[in-house]
Chain A
């Protein structure tokens, strides 16, 4: 006769409510682990997906995912000429925030190096890759844009030609993919009035130079659009991604590029590591500590619940001892109830989590390894939390049945 299940059957309502409470608590613990997985997955998603062997970034910076990185746009041609490099692509990445339907819309803008990169590597769920160098975009579903929808960014209007799923930036914003030139146009979009003021300022500065006084045409040139002035540099890009030829030694190529004074070079793993040890590390530790705290709280609550359940059964336990039940019967009853509570709580946590986590603003990824680890932790806290109840039960005298 299984006394643990008999007691649960008799007090089913209370047990069910307790299990739901424990389950909700475990769901939070489970969710915290899932949020961490989601943060790591989102943060490393781009690095994994773009499939670059080497990243060239601004000298002494940690790359565009960790901090601001600016390199000359002609770096892509320099890099392409290095022996062992099969392909060099520009990388432009920045985040913008606009209003849409009265709500803020945050977009992580990523430039594709047209025509070598039209977005073939993207996991499209609908539509197509970029078909022209301007005015097309591929958007992630999280942005809420529909296929064929047109959105005005800066001075231009872009049409959504493709949709992706789960392409999220490290900060949780949905990614949108444009050609590099469009991405730069969005990034460096300047209002007409600002352009006019900038040109006027240029003229005002020029008037103070001897050359402009001697040659008025120079002053007239200074009033022309910036893109027509050779003295004004092209907009800078965030980084350059390299794909190496088969058999090329990444370290050797990296050594060559490291010799250039204006850039630093990282392997994809190095870039990933920098990202994880940088911005994600703090989040990981914060979530980790919070998770430990919640686990301890869950263990304490379970211990108190099991202790209370044991207190409720003092008379029955005394009676069992009186009629000769060995300690193992009493111990088994409490331990089994703890394990059943932990097991049912874990199941409830998983089932409720499956329904609730997709509604969270950030991705919550329940990895099998994390679920197994949590199951192990629940098993351990079930056993540990039953010890308080067992300790109390062992102290109960058969005499108490007569009281």
Chain B
């Protein structure tokens, strides 16, 4: 990927401060990240380090106190100023996967995938076809008609992954997506992210504690106490080994 080409997502100097005065808490300080199209990025760090704050900020859910977010070359957020309809932008360009499967309980597995496409204007028939393809790809096609309560944690997570991929987003944001999966399934999901990133040119940011699949990632970032640091590539981090904070 050429540096001249617009990044899938670029965050510059993101800071998030909760409260003020004596109750002020700096959750994230001057965090920057550039994810090229087709690049898969891991974000590591201990609990409370600011990973989720960063992820929700670049996911246009949580407004940063300051900093800029550019997606696909378009400046969408500068501090608390939004330059587009964030909800509509999220629907079209971002895919989310979270630690908990976050499926809508009153929709079946296939409807949970379809809803994302139908909100973007896809027809019922086309969305059903693609949803079935995605469920099949993720190995849960046989549970398409089941409600989330009838699925195991791993099956629910795979349906959530299918939903995140449904609209062919330019950026996929995943927060501990493999927490509910066994090692093999977890690795398959990570490899799936890499495949989607490479085939569709999407940028992928994965917050994870799962060190067994770190070799899948192109770049690794770490956060601690709200500060973000970058490793040049995954080669510098050994799989199955604890990550040591970088300078």
Residues of A within 8 A of B (CB): 1, 3, 6-7, 9-11, 316, 319-326, 329, 397-399, 401-402
Assembled-state Cα–Cα distance A232/B169 (Å): 107
Nearest CB in chain B to that of A327: its residue: B87
In the complex the two chains form, is B116's CB within 8 Å of A9's CB? no
CB within 8 A of A398: which of B61, B106, B115, B118? B61
Q: Cβ of A10: which chain B residues have Cβ within 8 Å of it?
A: 105-107, 147
With A316-B104, A326-B119, A402-B98 given, can you name 8 additional A-B contacts, CB distance below 8 Å? A1-B118, A3-B107, A6-B107, A7-B106, A321-B87, A322-B102, A326-B87, A326-B88
Count A-B pairs with CB separation below 8 Å: 71
CB within 8 A of B124: which of A1, A325, A401? A1
Q: Cβ of B105: which chain A residues have Cβ within 8 Å of it?
A: 10, 316
Assembled-state Cα–Cα distance A402/B94 (Å): 16
Per-position binary interface string of chain B over residues 69-104, scored 1 when its CB falls under 8 Å from any chain A CB and 0 otherwise: 000000000000000000111111010101000111
In the complex the two chains form, is A323's CB within 8 Å of B91's CB? yes
In the complex the two chains form, is B111's CB within 8 Å of A1's CB? yes
Beyond A1-B115, A6-B111, whether A322 also contacts B104 by CB under 8 A is no
Assembled-state Cα–Cα distance A397/B60 (Å): 12
Nearest CB in chain A to that of B103: its residue: A319
CB within 8 A of A324: which of B87, B98, B106, B124? B87
Size band of the B side of the interface?
20 to 34
Beyond A6-B106, A7-B106, A323-B163, whether A402 also contacts B88 by CB under 8 A is no
Assembled-state Cα–Cα distance A325/B87 (Å): 7
In the complex the two chains form, is A329's CB within 8 Å of B56's CB? no
Nearest CB in chain B to that of A10: its residue: B106
Question: Any chain A CB within 8 A of the CB of B30?
Answer: no
Q: Cβ of A7: which chain B residues have Cβ within 8 Å of it?
A: 106
Question: Any chain A CB within 8 A of the CB of B233?
Answer: no
In the complex the two chains form, is A316's CB within 8 Å of B106's CB? yes
Assembled-state Cα–Cα distance A329/B118 (Å): 11
In the complex the two chains form, is A402's CB within 8 Å of B52's CB? yes
Q: Cβ of A399: which chain B residues have Cβ within 8 Å of it?
A: 56, 61-62
Nearest CB in chain B to that of A397: its residue: B61
In the complex the two chains form, is A9's CB within 8 Å of B61's CB? no
Q: Cβ of B52: which chain A residues have Cβ within 8 Å of it?
A: 402
Assembled-state Cα–Cα distance A320/B106 (Å): 12
Per-position binary interface string of chain B over residues 107-128, scored 1 when its CB falls under 8 Å from any chain A CB and 0 otherwise: 1000100111011100010000
CB within 8 A of B92: which of A1, A316, A324, A397? A324
Taking CB atoms and an 8 Å cut-off, the chain B residues in 141-165 that contact chain A are: 147, 163
In the complex the two chains form, is A401's CB within 8 Å of B118's CB? no
Q: Cβ of A319: which chain B residues have Cβ within 8 Å of it?
A: 102-104
Q: Cβ of A3: which chain B residues have Cβ within 8 Å of it?
A: 106-107, 115
Can you identify 18 A-B contacts, CB atoms within 8 angstroms? A3-B106, A10-B107, A10-B147, A316-B106, A319-B104, A320-B115, A322-B96, A324-B89, A324-B90, A324-B94, A324-B119, A324-B120, A325-B87, A325-B115, A397-B61, A399-B62, A401-B102, A402-B102
Beyond A1-B118, A399-B61, whether A322 also contacts B90 by CB under 8 A is yes
Nearest CB in chain A to that of B164: its residue: A323
B173 to chain A, nearest CB (A): 11
B115 to chain A, nearest CB (A): 6
Beyond A324-B91, A399-B56, whether A9 also contacts B106 by CB under 8 A is yes
Q: Cβ of A397: which chain B residues have Cβ within 8 Å of it?
A: 61
Nearest CB in chain A to that of B93: its residue: A324
Assembled-state Cα–Cα distance A322/B119 (Å): 12
CB within 8 A of B115: which of A9, A11, A323? A323
